[in-house]
């Protein structure tokens, strides 16, 4: 023993003094150790007295709330969570020995999640509910936030909060379908608008398209769906690119392919409020500056199994997808300007304010019928309605509608070309591109629409850019403060513009602004649309529908006169302006069958002018005499000079 | 034709042959100056806003009136001269042959043959000064246009005095219309007249002839023989 002590003492000292070994030996509690008790459901069956027997009782200590956490840990499940790499004692740091104390201290999540805890501590949620982290989140069963579905995210809130409290919210079900709670209730969370491609599934519901379904379309792009869509390769999916891709999907047999949008929280923010509920303000989201618009992405299925990849999308897509209407543009629209409020169509808030129940109006045509009854009556029986079954919103976005009269030919065409490809079916049409350039679709395809020829003032800027002149610009050109343009044009005040009145007005503008190219623009336009569309124009292939003096639009010529405040006044106009040779560029290209021949009326006009010039003809004829004399002298003299050589030769 | 042959013989002899007597030459140049001034002042009267060559409108009217009367007296001089000489009809009144033979011949010469250096189909002589085209034109000018212009001019000179005549003829506007249209015709004629005067044997031979009275025949002969 004597010999043994010198060896044993330093060895024991070494063990006791080495902090490393000390910790290892006394506190290296493996998860397995914990799971001996907590890994079995038996622990749930034990009575409190039985449990007390296996721990060290600490009656003086205060118990910590546990929420819905149980003593039983499904370890398999835990190994799949984001916390899988942590040991039990990493969080339950006050366990020093087994058996551990009866009442453990609070786990400090801030060890890792200090930022989130910081946000939360300042929140109303923390103050009012005094909830602890694990009363909402189960740390033994957490999945990555990004992997949570919208429903799973909502399930975090719903155990305590009743979503039925949203009775004021128009389109409540739609909002719940597409949004998670924190989209509104965590104003500072980072959000994004995510699109994904869906198609009609077997049960008739729209479901996300899988990679297998999209694979066919990636040939030549190395199996990359993103590359197949982003054809110009600028890493941004533009509207026309996605439209083209969807058209392709449709062509190759995928049932009703479309883009579906979801607003998702990218980065949660743990300061929750019910501010939204108090304000009941649609403009929190329904403005183009809504927070989620800062990130517009397209989610596409990944080539190798399950995952998703995101591609940046052109923000212009926002305007094309009706479900998230922008209210900031809304007040500039024809609806907004005529005083139609959100709730006039979407919900009856007057009843809500009186504290009674109310019915949210569905987004169905009856909403439109309230004001546009005649349009709907016409449309209901049309071929378009029967074949396409599109309702109003299929073509028109009521939140960005401009007055029809102010739409350009391009904008009008865009309403149809959303679905119809003008390249198709117009092969027979001579001068097709010219027709497309100047005419809107309904010129031929809405036989009952009222058509006419519209004139307006325009300026051709350098670079051949044509700009239509508004009231202020014309006033500036005239150098007048508040001119009554209609009065200036219609000098005789008979409410009808003769070609002379228009041309002399144009001359005044030109004389005052000699350096600017001001001219009369002209377009054949639909003046009053008809919603009864047909393909008759295509079937008849009859040019004389338009190219004849009997053409319908020929019956109505109007001049559009801008007025102060942006309104436009129209005055009927004499059609003789089209046949005349004036310095209006377009009239020289305006070829209408049957209109370029002289008529009895023209002869009458001519005689009138002859009589009107009267004695001044003397000067005209006299000058012609002189010109004839000068002409004879010049030609004869020239021939004399030219033939000098001939005569000299002959003399020799 | 017999006459012409005789003339040609005379000319071939190289005699100085007076084509334009001194009185006719004087008449021509007075008439020329007067017509030019009438045209110029007339233009100012017609377009007073555009033309102010003669100062005020009043001055232009005065000059116009003076030269108008000069033309009137000059015309009477010319008329008297030819009446007394008994050549008026012979020189100025076209005969049917002038239309049937003379006019086509002269026209083809002026419009085509002249360019190839063909000799003129007509040579003026004191007895027959004008070719058929000239005859027809001068007949119209001297017997219709000039008298008409003088008469309308005189009527417009004093509207009050000739009130009844003017009324009978259809009013000032009608008289004025004739006067104006004739003025334009004279202006056009003047241009063509001056140009045609260069179509002689040499560029200036006709013009010189109207100054000295005869054409430079020596030069012409030299030219022809060479």
pLDDT mean over A318-343: 67
- What pLDDT, on the 0 to 100 scale, is given for residue A1? 39
| pLDDT for residue A625 | 95
| Beta pairing partners, A208 | A198
pLDDT in tens, A439-456: 888 888 888 888 888 888
When divided into structural domains, chain B yields a total of 1
Confidence band of A549 (pLDDT split at 50, 70, 90): low
Please report the pLDDT score of residue B69 as a whole number.
Answer: 96
Q: Does A619 touch chain B (CB under 8 A)?
A: yes
Task: Considering only residues A587 and A360, tell me which one the structure prediction assigns the higher pLDDT.
Answer: A587
End-to-end CA separation in angstroms for chain B? 27
- Res A68 pLDDT > 60: yes
B189–chain A Cβ distance below 8 A for any pair = yes
Cis peptide bond prior to A356, omega within 30° of 0: no
Query: What local confidence, expressed as pLDDT, does residue B26 receive?
Result: 94
In angstroms, rounded to a whole number, what is the distance separating the alpha carbons of residues A345 and A338?
13
Taking CB atoms and an 8 Å limit, are B177 and A636 in contact across chains? Answer: no
CATH of the domain at B200: 1.20.950.20
User: B184 vs chain A: nearest CA distance in angstroms?
Assistant: 5
**Residue B133 domain-assigned?**
yes
- pLDDT level of residue A616 (50, 70, 90 thresholds): confident
- Write the CA distances from A97 to A14, A56, A102, A551, integer angstroms: 22, 10, 12, 99
* pLDDT band (50, 70, 90) for residue A417: confident
Task: Encode A564-618 in three state secondary structure.
Answer: CCCCEEEEEECCHHHHCCCCCHHHHHCCCCCCCCCCHHHHHHHHHHHHHHHHHHH
Q: Is A631 on the interface with B (CB under 8 A)?
A: no
* pLDDT score for B25: 94
Highest mean pLDDT among A260-269, A385-394, B167-176, B209-218: B167-176
**Chain centre to alpha carbon of residue B95:** 19
Q: Do A646 and B177 touch (CB under 8 A)?
A: no
Within a 10 A sphere around the Cβ of B195, how many other Cβ atoms?
A: 17
C-alpha angle A94-A99-A100 in degrees, rounded to nearest 5? 20
Q: With b meaning 16 or more CB within 10 Å and e meaning fewer, what string describes A535-564? A: eebeeeeeeebbeeeebbbbebbbbbbbee
Instruction: Among A616, A621, A622, A624, pick the best mutation site for testing chain B contact (most B Cβ within 10 A).
Output: A622
- Nearest Cα residue to B64 out of B143, B141, B138, B152: B152
As a whole number, the mean pLDDT across chain A is: 78
User: In the predicted model, what is the mean pLDDT of residues A407-435?
Assistant: 82
Q: What DSSP character marks residue A406?
A: G
Spatial CA neighbour of B120 closest among B193, B24, B205, B15: B205
pLDDT at A320: 62
A13-17, A56-60, A196-200, A603-607: range with lowest mean pLDDT: A13-17
Q: Is residue B12 part of a domain?
A: no
Domain span including residue B182: 18-118+127-219
Selecting from B116, B189, B195 the residue whose C-beta is nearest the C-beta of A647 gives B116
Chain A residue nearest residue B117, CA to CA: A647
CB-CB neighbors (< 8 A) of A646 in chain B: 115-117
Question: Residue A460, class by beta-carbon neighbours within 10 Å (0-12 exposed, 13-18 middle, 19+ buried)?
Answer: middle
Which chain B residues in 86-105 lie under 8 Å from chain A, judged by CB atoms? none
Position A6 pLDDT exceeds 60:
no
ipTM of predicted assembly, 2 dp:
0.85
Give the residue among B220, B155, B217 at the shortest CA–CA distance from B182. B155
Mean pLDDT of A4-17: 52
How far is the alpha carbon of B111 from chain A, nearest alpha carbon, in Å? Answer: 8
Q: Which of A428-442, A471-485, A489-503, B143-157 has the highest mean pLDDT?
A: B143-157
**A640, B115 Cβ separation under 8 angstroms:** yes
Q: Give yes or no for A625 touching B (CB within 8 A).
A: yes
Give the whole-angstrom CA distance, residue A617 versus residue A622. 8
Residue of chain A whose Cα is closest to the Cα of B110: A636
The nearest CA of chain B is from the CA of A625 a distance in Å of 6
Distance CA A435, CA A443 (A): 10
- For chain B, which ranges sit under pLDDT 50? 1-3, 12-13, 218-226
The answer to whether residue A366 scores a pLDDT higher than 70 is: no
A617 and chain B in contact, CB less than 8 A? no
In this predicted structure, what is the pLDDT of residue B184?
95
Note the pLDDT of residue A19.
Answer: 47
**Candidate from B115, B117, B184 with C-beta closest to A651:** B117
Sign, CA torsion A344/A293/A403/A365: negative
Write the residue in B117, B181, B226 that is nearest to A622 by C-beta. B181
Q: Are the beta carbons of A334 and A401 closer than 8 angstroms? A: yes
Which chain B residues are Cβ-neighbours of A620 within 8 angstroms? none
Over its C-alpha atoms, chain A yields an Rg (Å, rounded) of 40
- Which of B191, B197, B199 to probe the A interface (max A CBs under 10 A)? B191
Range of weakest confidence among A169-173, A307-311, B97-101:
A169-173
> Which of these ranges, A416-430, A601-615, B58-72, B201-215, has the smallest mean pLDDT?
A416-430
Sequence spans of domains, chain A:
29-142, 146-321, 331-402, 423-597, 604-642
pLDDT at A510: 86
Is a pLDDT exceeding 90 seen at residue A150?
no
Distance from CA of A630 to the nearest CA of B (A): 7
Inter-chain CB proximity A633 and B192 less than 8 Å: yes
Q: What's the rounded Cα separation, in Å, for the pair B101 and B121? A: 11
CB pairs under 8 A between A and B: 59
Q: Is residue B159 part of a domain?
A: yes
Least confident of A169-173, A229-233, B110-114: A169-173
Strands A190-200 and A206-208: antiparallel
CA atoms within 13 A on the CB side of A565: 4
Q: Could you count the other beta carbons within 10 Å of the beta carbon of residue A276?
A: 16
Does A633 touch chain B if contact means CB atoms closer than 8 Å?
yes
Nearest alpha-carbon partner for A392 in A370, A423, A368 = A368
Question: CA-to-CA distance for A647 and A645, rounded, in angstroms?
Answer: 5
Distance separating alpha carbons of residues A594 and A545, to the nearest angstrom: 12
Tell me, yes or no, whether B172 lies in a domain. yes
Tally of CA atoms within 13 A in the half-sphere of A84 that contains its CB: 10
CA distance to partner chain A, nearest, from residue B49 (Å):
15
Which residues from chain B sit within 8 angstroms of residue A651, using beta carbons? Answer: 117, 226
Q: Is B11 exposed, middle or buried (0-12, 13-18, 19+ CB in 10 A)?
A: middle
User: Could you give the CA distance from residue B70 to residue B156 in angstroms, rounded to a whole number?
Assistant: 16
Residue of B48, B184, B202, B226 for testing the chain A interface, max A β-carbons within 10 Å: B184
* Three-state SS annotation for A498-555: CHHHHHHHHHHHHHHCCCCEEEEEEEEEEEECCCCCCCHHHHHCCHHHCCCCCCHHHH
Q: Which residue of B has its CA nearest to A643?
A: B115
A239-251 pLDDT, tens per residue? 888 888 888 888 8
- Looking at beta carbons, which residues of chain B come within 8 Å of A625? 184-185, 187-188
Contact A625 B187 (CB under 8 A): yes
pLDDT band at A622 (very low <50, low <70, confident <90, very high): very high
- Is the CB of residue A566 less than 8 Å away from at least one CB of chain B? no
Angle (nearest 5°) at CA A448 between A446 and A454: 80
Beta carbons of B116 and A650 less than 8 Å apart: yes
Q: What is the pLDDT of residue A642?
A: 92
Extended beta strands in chain B, E state: none
User: Which residues 6+ apart lie within 8 Å of A66 measured at CB?
Assistant: A134
B79, B80, B86, B91: CA torsion to nearest 10 = -20
Q: What's the pLDDT score for residue B6?
A: 52
3-state secondary structure string, A480-496? CCCCCHHHHHCCCCCCC
Q: Are strands A568-572 and A557-562 parallel, antiparallel or unpaired?
A: antiparallel
Inform me whether the C-beta atom of residue B113 falls under 8 Å from chain A C-beta atoms.
no
Q: What letter would DSSP give residue A479?
A: T
Residue numbers in B near A650 (CB within 8 A): 116-117
In terms of C-beta distances under 8 Å and separation of at least 24 residues, what long-range contacts does A128-131 make, across chains too? Answer: A129/A160
Residue A27 pLDDT:
53
**A339-354 pLDDT tens trace:** 776 666 765 444 333 3
The mean pLDDT value for A614-639 works out to: 93
Task: Find the mean pLDDT for residues A357-375.
Answer: 61
DSSP secondary structure, A117-183, as one string: HHHHHTSHHHHHH---HHHHS-TTS---GGG--HHHHHHHHTTT--GGG-TT-TTHHHHHHH--HHH
| Cβ atoms within 10 Å, residue A243 | 15
Helix (H, G, I), strand (E, B) or coil at A412: helix
Partner B contacted by A623 (CB < 8 A): yes
Is the pLDDT score of A133 beyond 90?
A: no
Give pLDDT, residue A324.
57
Q: Is residue B99 part of a domain?
A: yes
**A524 vs A534, which has greater pLDDT?**
A524
A466/A457 Cα distance (integer angstroms): 10
Is the pLDDT score of A237 beyond 70?
yes
pLDDT at A588 over 60: no
E strands in B106-161: none
pLDDT tens by residue, A550-586 = 677 777 888 888 888 777 788 888 877 776 666 555 5
**Per-residue burial over A161-189, b = 16 or more CB atoms within 10 Å of its CB, e = otherwise:** eeeeebeebbbeeebbebbbbbbbbbbeb
| Cα angle for residues A323, A348, A172 (degrees, 5° grid) | 40
CB-CB: which of A622, A633, A646 is closest to B115?
A646
Residue A514 contacts residue A438 (beta carbons within 8 Å): no
Give the residue among A236, A230, A231, A210 at the shortest CA–CA distance from A300: A210
């Amino acid at each position: 023993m004597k010999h043994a002590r010198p060896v044993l003492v330093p060895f024991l000292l070494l063990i006791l003094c080495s902090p490393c070994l000390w910790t290892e030996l006394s506190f290296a509690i493996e998860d397995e150790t914990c799971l001996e008790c907590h890994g079995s459901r038996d622990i749930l069956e034990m009575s409190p007295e039985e449990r007390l027997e296996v721990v060290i009782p600490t009656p003086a200590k205060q118990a910590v709330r546990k929420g819905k956490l149980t003593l039983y840990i499904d370890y398999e499940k835990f190994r799949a969570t984001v916390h899988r790499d942590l040991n039990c004692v990493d969080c339950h740091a006050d366990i020093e020995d087994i058996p551990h104390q009866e009442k453990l201290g609070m786990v400090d999540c801030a060890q890792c999640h200090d930022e989130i805890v910081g946000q939360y501590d300042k929140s109303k949620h923390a103050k009012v509910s005094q909830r602890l982290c694990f009363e909402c989140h189960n740390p033994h069963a957490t999945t990555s936030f990004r992997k949570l579905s919208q429903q799973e995210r909502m399930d975090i809130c719903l155990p305590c909060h009743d979503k039925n409290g949203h009775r004021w919210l128009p389109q409540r079900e739609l909002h719940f379908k597409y949004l998670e709670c924190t989209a509104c209730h965590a104003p500072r969370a980072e959000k994004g608008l995510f699109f994904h491609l869906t198609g009609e599934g077997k049960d008739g519901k729209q479901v996300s398209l899988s990679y297998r379904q999209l694979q066919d379309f990636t040939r030549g792009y190395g199996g990359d769906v993103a590359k197949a869509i982003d054809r110009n390769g600028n890493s941004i999916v533009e509207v026309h690119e996605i439209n083209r891709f969807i058209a392709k999907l449709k062509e190759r047999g995928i049932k009703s392919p479309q883009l579906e949008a979801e607003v998702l929280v990218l980065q949660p923010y743990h300061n929750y409020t019910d501010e939204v509920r108090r304000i009941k303000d649609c403009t929190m989201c329904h403005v183009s500056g809504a927070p989620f618009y800062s990130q517009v992405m397209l989610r596409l299925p990944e080539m190798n199994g399950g995952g998703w990849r995101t591609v940046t999308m052109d923000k212009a897509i926002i305007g094309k997808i009706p479900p998230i209407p922008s209210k900031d543009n809304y007040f500039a629209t024809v609806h907004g300007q005529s005083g139609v409020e959100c709730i006039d169509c979407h919900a009856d808030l007057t009843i809500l304010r009186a504290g009674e129940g109310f019915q949210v109006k569905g987004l169905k045509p009856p909403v439109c019928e309230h004001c546009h009854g005649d349009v709907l009556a016409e449309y209901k029986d049309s071929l378009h309605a029967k074949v396409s079954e599109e309702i109003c919103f299929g073509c028109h976005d009521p939140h960005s509608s401009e007055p029809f009269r102010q739409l350009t030919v391009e904008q009008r065409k865009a309403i149809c070309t959303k679905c119809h490809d003008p390249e198709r079916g117009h092969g027979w049409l001579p001068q097709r591109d010219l027709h497309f350039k100047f005419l809107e679709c309904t010129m031929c395809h809405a036989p009952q629409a009222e058509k006419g020829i519209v004139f307006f003032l325009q300026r051709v800027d350098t670079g051949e850019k044509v700009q239509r002149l508004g009231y202020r610009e014309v006033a500036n050109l005239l150098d007048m403060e508040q001119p009554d343009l209609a009065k200036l044009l219609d000098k005789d005040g008979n409410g009808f513009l003769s070609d002379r009145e228009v041309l002399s007005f144009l001359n005044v503008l030109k004389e005052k602004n000699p350096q600017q190219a001001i001219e009369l623009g002209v377009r054949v336009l639909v003046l009053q649309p008809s919603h009864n569309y047909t393909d008759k124009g295509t079937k008849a292939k009859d040019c004389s529908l338009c190219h004849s003096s009997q053409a319908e639009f020929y019956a109505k010529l109007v001049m559009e006169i801008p007025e102060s405040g942006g309104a436009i006044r129209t005055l009927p106009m004499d059609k003789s302006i089209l046949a005349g040779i004036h310095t209006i560029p377009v009239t020289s290209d305006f070829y209408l069958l049957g209109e370029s021949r002289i008529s009895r009326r023209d002869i009458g006009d001519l005689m009138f002018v002859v009589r009107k010039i009267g004695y001044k003809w003397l000067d005209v004829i006299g000058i012609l005499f002189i010109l004839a004399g000068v002409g004879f002298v010049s030609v004869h003299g020239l021939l004399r000079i030219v033939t000098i050589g001939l005569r000299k030769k002959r003399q020799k | 034709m017999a006459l012409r042959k005789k003339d040609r013989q005379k000319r071939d002899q190289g005699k100085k042959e007076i084509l334009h007597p001194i009185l006719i030459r004087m008449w021509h140049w007075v008439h020329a100056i007067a017509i030019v001034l009438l045209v110029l002042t007339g233009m100012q009267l017609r377009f007073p806003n555009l033309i102010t060559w003669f100062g005020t409108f009043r001055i232009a009217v005065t000059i116009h009136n003076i030269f108008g009367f000069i033309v009137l007296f000059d015309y009477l001089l010319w008329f008297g001269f030819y009446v007394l000489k008994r050549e008026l009809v012979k020189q100025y009144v076209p005969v049917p042959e002038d239309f049937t033979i003379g006019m086509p011949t002269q026209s083809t010469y002026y419009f085509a043959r002249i360019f190839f250096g063909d000799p003129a189909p007509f040579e003026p002589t004191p007895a027959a000064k004008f070719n058929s085209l000239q005859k027809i034109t001068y007949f119209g000018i001297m017997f219709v246009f000039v008298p008409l212009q003088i008469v309308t001019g005189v009527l417009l000179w004093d509207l009050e005095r000739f009130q009844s005549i003017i009324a009978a003829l259809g009013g000032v506007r009608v008289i004025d219309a004739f006067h104006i249209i004739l003025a334009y015709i004279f202006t056009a004629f003047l241009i063509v007249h001056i140009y045609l005067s260069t179509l002689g044997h040499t560029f200036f031979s006709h013009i010189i002839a109207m100054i000295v009275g005869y054409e430079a025949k020596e030069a012409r002969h030299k030219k022809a023989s060479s």
